[in-house]
A and B are shown apart, each in its own frame.
Chain A
Amino acid sequence: MGRSWLRDYIIKRLLYSVIIACGILTITFVLVRVGPSSPADKYLANIAARGQDVSQVIAAIEARYGVDKPIFQQYADYMGNLFRGNWGWSFSTSMPVIELIKTHWIYSFQLILLSSLFAAFLGVLIGIYSAVKQYTKVDYAFTFFSFIGISIPNFWLGIMLILVFSVRLGLFKTYYDTTLPLFSLDNLKALVLPVITLGTGMLAGYVRYTRSAMLDNLRKAFVTTARAKGLPERTVIGKHVFRNALLPLVTIIMFDLGSIVFGGAYLTEIIFGIPGLGQISFNAIFANDYPVVVAVTIIGTFIVLLVNLVTDVTYTYLDPRIRYD
């Protein structure tokens, strides 16, 4: 059976992703540039202190930043540069945008990866256990805790954890130390609280989802058949039920991965002082540093689109019945 349709589908999706990315890029660019604030704003205070000619200095600064040209020109310049691989110069940090991203993406990445793994593994295991032991006290307890997990505001959880474990108990450092080598145990330890903060919400979601997906499948006919065949319960659960629940579960995990890049990770980075892309883009917004904002948005969008595509393609392997035409 040929999979040629799959190749066509992938190409179509990729093209489609590029268009969406361009759309998002444009919207971001316009938003950042159209606002009433300008990169010259942070000079205002110092100009004030010096009693200088404000409008002249602002005009010169805006000329230096290239934001005095008409917006279409700026857009065209920016897009032109982008396609040539020049992502611009970050004014608020005085370095090329590409360099900025290269030095900081790893912190976001390790945080998101670890949180997702933590949430996925633990969540799925608890979900399966909960489903199998439905209506027992354990199940109720887990259900209750998963509600708590998705309800707790993650930024509040973060500062509470810091208050209790770092400040009062002194078990962890209150800030993230970037001098630690990435693959060291110390680094892992430093990431414990951030991962818990970011992962709790996802964890709870996975528990609930896995549980309900498992429950749905446990009722199905093929389970009775497998049991009737005399297969051990563990095989029934692990091999049959879980496999079927896997498909939608994978969707959710992938979707979460894409969407927490901004949102939860953003806030966690700020609270724990992890200099990842979230914190970079946040500072850039406040400094009106539009090349950085647009660049980080593109990356986030690209990740989401890529993840969606990979998910959809994975679907076809997990369930050969699915076809996209």
Chain B
Amino acid sequence: MRKFGFFLAMTIVLITLTVGCAKGEIKEGKGTTVSGDFIDGQSGGDAETLNWILAADATSFSYVGHTLDSLATYDNQWNLQLRCLAKDIEVSPDGLVYTVTIRGDLKWSDGSPVTAEDYVYTLKNLMFSDWLNYPYKSDWQEEVDGKTIFVTPQVVNDTTFTITRQTVYPEFIYTIYNLTPYPKYIAVNYEGNVEAFTQAPEFNNLTYTGNLGPYRFKEWVRNDRFVVEKNPDYYLGKDIGAPYFGQYIIKLFNSPATMQAALEAGDITESGIEPAEVNRFRSMPNIKVYTIPTTGYWLLAYNQRANGWEGLKDKTVRQALSMAISKQTISQAILLGFAEPAYSFIPATSQWYTDKGVAKYGVVPLYDKQKAAELLYQEGYGIKENDGTIKVTNKDGTPLNLVLVVSTGNKQSEDTAFSIRKDLLALGIETEIKLIPWATLLRQYVMNTVPGSKQEPAYNNGLDALSQQSWDLILMGFGTNLLSPSGSHVFFTSGGGLNYFGYSNPEVDELFNRVRSKEALDKNVRQQIYAEMSRVLSEEQPVDFLVFNRANVGFQKNVMRIEPGINMGYNYYMWYFEPAK
């Protein structure tokens, strides 16, 4: 549950953090009267804190997002929806200076205006500071002359500020779009004292949010519900009367089963639905179900470091293994059809995905256990039995045993691990499945150090580093940022911070460098580079890309103005209950 839940949550973050400024249009009908409470069911665990700069979990951000807008978001068709920006962010021709202009009518709860100073203060004094140690500060850092430095924010006037980089990174703009400010006039009182900042009542109770969000904080009963009430001053909504719900309540459930039962009974307005129940919910007269693509995908990492099976260093071997693992079983039998096979880290729904030339292992015709065995035999990893069949073994003929590590807590990924094991067994490979709690998995199998050195473990301490425990395959979930897939460089470049499986290919390194450079400012060029990436990686198989998941969301039928799609929450402040006849 945890891993998949994380990525579902990430999606929901994308959905709900897109509180935004529509370009002033109202799609149909003018305002609608405010009625009822929207109850959103969640079963992935409660948020950690509303003091969002300290939070590590996506849930915390999603809660806060109801009270604070970010600078921009996207609708389902990837049109930019500006929020607190009056105009788009301007990028200088050399790609190094970003100019951000915010609206002039934003106010904190005490009436004072929200200014560029608040934004810059949040960046320089909070996010970049040592005393606070913001977990995501690396989003705002760049490598210059081998050193890691922060970008430079600067106030221009009350409503404008700039951020200056020294290296070009076209996708940096998406980081800026997500920026939300802390009120400087309150934060200065806690500056330097992380304990006081952590316990600050203003930040923990969101008392400062002013007119920046469609809702205002009302109450938070831990492990039970998070309630925000309609904000009549909402800068986007006050002219049209939005939002149209008296309260927005996030109700927490212990398990998806009870949550779905509550949806069925009409006790809550919206909830996620598990694959096995979707058909049943679709046929209910009072519920409408949407099936939406997500950015989450599963992959099987091949350990190319020294403490994995030596065969994995060989590209043909990796291709053969991927050829033997059925993606159909995973998407059809385990996920009941709510998934599609993945061949690259970029999902098919992204504007950057190109199908051409991509090698599609794991589905017919590149799903062929026979051929896979032959390929392995070719590389020396097999023996021919009397009847002509090939049994895959080590180079010296001894039986081949692999270790597959998967984290506990998610039944579907467990099932996938078993399916993979079964596929490999058909080749004669014995796979031992290790079910390890996620944090332990990260510590013992993912983090690595160079043997004999005294360095701190990291996710990629160079290609010579080894993890504490040896492993061959790790099954995990990941998510690609649809807007800036180049974030996946952490996975696939030699120095990538998350390249724990030790893949190294200068061609790929070069591609990722190019996509984060000046030439990629041109969208067409970027498209080509991404297409090439998909092509190369699908052939190289550093990991076996397994499937992209789909999520299912159910609503009571009377919720209006929902636009289904990958970012369907972007206009949620416009939703309303259809008046009862």
Contact = CB atoms under 8 A, between A and B. Distances in A.
A92 B57 CA distance: 11
Given A43-B56, A166-B261, A280-B222, A50 B490 contact: yes
Contacts of B190: none
A60 B56 contact: no
B286 interface: no
Contacts of A96: 199
Interface string A151-183: 000000000001000110010011101110000
Contact of B223 (A46, A177, A275): A275
B52 to A, nearest CB: 11
What's the dominant secondary structure at chain A's contact region? helix
A94 B51 contact: yes
B48 A54 contact: no
11 contacts: A45-B442, A47-B459, A48-B442, A49-B498, A54-B457, A63-B133, A94-B48, A95-B204, A162-B258, A174-B257, A174-B265
B50 A167 contact: no
Interface size class of B (residues with CB under 8 A): 35 or more
A282 to B, nearest CB: 10
A40 to B, nearest CB: 9
Contact of A167 (B54, B223, B261): B261
A103 B254 CA distance: 19
B290 interface: no
B224 A60 contact: no
A43 B438 contact: no
A250 to B, nearest CB: 35
Contacts of A64: 54, 133, 194-195, 198
A64 B221 CA distance: 24
Q: Which of B137, B253, B443 has the most CB of A within 10 A?
A: B443
Interface in A232-282: 270-271, 273, 275, 279-280
A64 B498 CA distance: 25
A57 B258 contact: no
Contacts of B46: 93, 283
Interface of B: 6, 46, 48-51, 54, 56-57, 133, 135-139, 194-195, 198-199, 204, 221-225, 252-254, 257-259, 261-262, 265, 267, 438-440, 442-443, 446-447, 456-460, 478-479, 490, 496-498
B135 A280 contact: no
A162 B498 CA distance: 43
Given A48-B442, A95-B204, A270-B254, 9 more contacts: A46-B135, A47-B135, A53-B138, A64-B194, A94-B54, A95-B222, A173-B267, A179-B225, A283-B223
A184 interface: no
A61 B137 CA distance: 13
B254 A48 contact: no
Interface in A110-164: 162
Contact of B265 (A47, A51, A92, A170): A170
B459 A51 contact: yes
Nearest to A166: B261
A50 B136 contact: yes
B458 to A, nearest CB: 5
B56 A103 contact: no
B439 A103 contact: no
A36 B135 CA distance: 22
B459 A48 contact: yes
A43 B55 CA distance: 9
B224 A275 contact: yes
Given A46-B56, A50-B497, A52-B138, A275 B258 contact: no
A309 interface: no
A100 interface: yes
A13 interface: no
* A-B CB proximity, top 6 nearest: A51-B497, A51-B490, A55-B456, A94-B49, A60-B133, A41-B439
Q: Which of A43, A45, A57, A170 has the most CB of B within 10 A?
A: A45
Contacts of B259: 175
A93 B222 CA distance: 7
A174 B257 CA distance: 9
A33 interface: no
A315 interface: no
A49 B9 CA distance: 14
A46 to B, nearest CB: 5
Contact of A53 (B49, B50, B57, B458): B458
A79 interface: no
A273 B54 CA distance: 27
Contacts of A48: 442, 446, 459, 498
Contacts of B258: 162, 174-175, 273
Contact of A49 (B51, B447, B479): B479
B221 A103 contact: yes
Q: Which of B135, B204, B221, B265 has the most CB of A within 10 A?
A: B135
Contacts of B497: 50-53
A57 B490 CA distance: 17
A89 B199 contact: yes
B194 to A, nearest CB: 5
Nearest to A91: B48
Nearest to A44: B442
B553 to A, nearest CB: 19
Given A45-B6, A50-B490, A273 B48 contact: no
A48 B136 CA distance: 11
B225 A51 contact: no
A89 B133 CA distance: 19
Interface in A69-113: 89, 91-96, 100, 103-104
B222 A275 contact: yes
Contacts of A283: 46, 223
Nearest to B498: A51
A42 B58 CA distance: 11
A314 interface: no
Given A93-B222, A103-B222, A275-B222, A54 B458 contact: yes
Contacts of B57: 42, 46
A94 B204 contact: yes
A218 to B, nearest CB: 47
B488 to A, nearest CB: 10
A291 to B, nearest CB: 12
B457 A55 contact: yes
A118 B409 CA distance: 36
A52 B265 CA distance: 44
A224 interface: no
A45 B166 CA distance: 29
A278 B446 CA distance: 34
A178 B199 CA distance: 26
Nearest to B130: A60
A55 B456 CA distance: 6
Contacts of B48: 42, 91-94
Contact of A37 (B137, B194, B199, B439): B439
Contact of B438 (A45, A56, A270, A273): A45
B423 to A, nearest CB: 27
A179 B194 CA distance: 34
Given A64-B194, A273-B254, A43 B265 contact: no
Contacts of A177: 267
Contacts of B498: 48-49, 51
A223 B195 CA distance: 69
A275 B222 CA distance: 8
Contacts of A60: 133
A146 to B, nearest CB: 30
A43 B261 CA distance: 32
B459 A54 contact: yes
Contacts of A56: 456
A49 B439 contact: no
Nearest to A51: B497
A63 B195 CA distance: 10
Nearest to A93: B222
Contacts of B54: 64, 94
